[in-house]
Structure 1
Amino acid sequence: MKLSDRPNTHSIPNPPVWKSPLILFTLGFLFVLISSSLFLKPPVVTSTLYVDVSASNQPFKAEVIHLCRQRLTFLKPKDAIVDAQFADRTVLWQNTTYQPQEQNNLRSRCDRILDPESSLGRAPGTALMSAIQNWSAQVQHLQLQNQAPVVAIFVIQAAEVADGQSAIDWQQIKQWIQERIAQRGVVLIVGSEATLQSQWITALKESPTTRIVPYRDSDSGLKWAFDLARKS
């Protein structure tokens, strides 16, 4: 019998287990799933809410509480929250990281958003310059730690200069705001009466990522701000 006519007694080796179609399909599916979650995950933002708690804004308590609660619906896990109250001076009200399990506690705090801290309101007026300067310093500190987009919300009805405070310098306010949002930031200003609203518009007219709205449009303003920030 010729050598070539002999039956082949050598078995064909099985492919490695990891090369089986089922394993390869599973690995491919997991890769796509993980990649999608990384790319589709909304970026973390820094959300600041600075609220005028002076006498001029007290009649709008229901509107401010609604805005505070509505803001929570736009927050995602690990978003930074930096909130303050201001009147004749500015006081940091809360500084935390958003976690969904804290939603009820944060909603309860919103009910007290217009209750001034004990150190506020000892002098009449609303120190807007002090509030914006404080906000700028807080955001600058955070930006040194991370480059998360900033959603800045200012709630103010009127800007009566407080005793001992200098007149409002709109050029300085514009500079503070633009420095902090130049790269990845959005500013929403809510509730200002007609004269103050006009002053805001004039000062910030060159900033496309700034919007000034009345209380009735706060919901749409919040949606615009957070959508824009998470896309930046």
Structure 2
Amino acid sequence: MEISQTKDIRLSRSALFGHLSAREDDSWTERTVYITSESLQGKSATPVLSGPAIEAVIKHVGTSDTGLVLFRREEEVEVVEPPVPVPMDAILEDQDLLLLEDIFDDAPTVGVVLLRLGRFAVGVLEGETLLATKTEGRYVKNRHKAGGSSQRRFERSRERLVRELYDKTCEVARDIFEPRQSSINHVFLGGERHILNGFRKRCGFLKMMDERIMKRILEVGEPNQSALESIHKEVFSSRLRTFRVSI
């Protein structure tokens, strides 16, 4: 069986359902398969029961921390990786969007930390509504190109400023998240991956929410209030991939 990827894009909720509605009108869909993240990692029978084409695509795609929704069409399989977890496995006839609609309609509460050197933004979303926000800028020196003791002093100073940025971001995240900690379903991080990795290692409060932190890093420019006001579009976007399958 040959599998070739022909499309890989991110779509907003409205664009995703618009696309799926158009596909329902212009193509035949044999079945829809929902599979959870846990089933992708374990020994679930769902891939085998879904048929050889979908089973092969699932193996090709691999794991996902939110699970997958797959549509078996005439000569292809479309794969949607939703922004939040698929709640259960299901194999359904035709194109069936009921569970996918439920994923979006449940309006999860989401914590967001956007971080780049020099600035951070923290917020809590209930669906697309911002419940609380805080943004702040802190000076962090650019890297020094000189050598010798001057460079070492500069690097020590820069490392201190980075630690202070991490600590302040962590303090604000605690202030914003803690009153809503029991209701926050997921936490999304956005910005530069290596900066976020350093932040996660240093922020003790965030470690307590480690199981709720999503693997996907949000794309964001300047972490500010404007970014928070539009971040729901990025948080609730889905990845759509199309695979041509030749048996």
State the TM-score, normalized to the length of structure 2: 0.27
Larger % of strand: which?
2
Larger % of helix: which?
1
Higher relative contact order, structure no. (Cα contacts within 8 Å, ≥ 6 residues apart): 2
State the TM-score, normalized to the length of structure 1: 0.29
Task: Kindly name which structure, 1 or 2, has the bigger radius of gyration based on alpha carbons.
Answer: 1
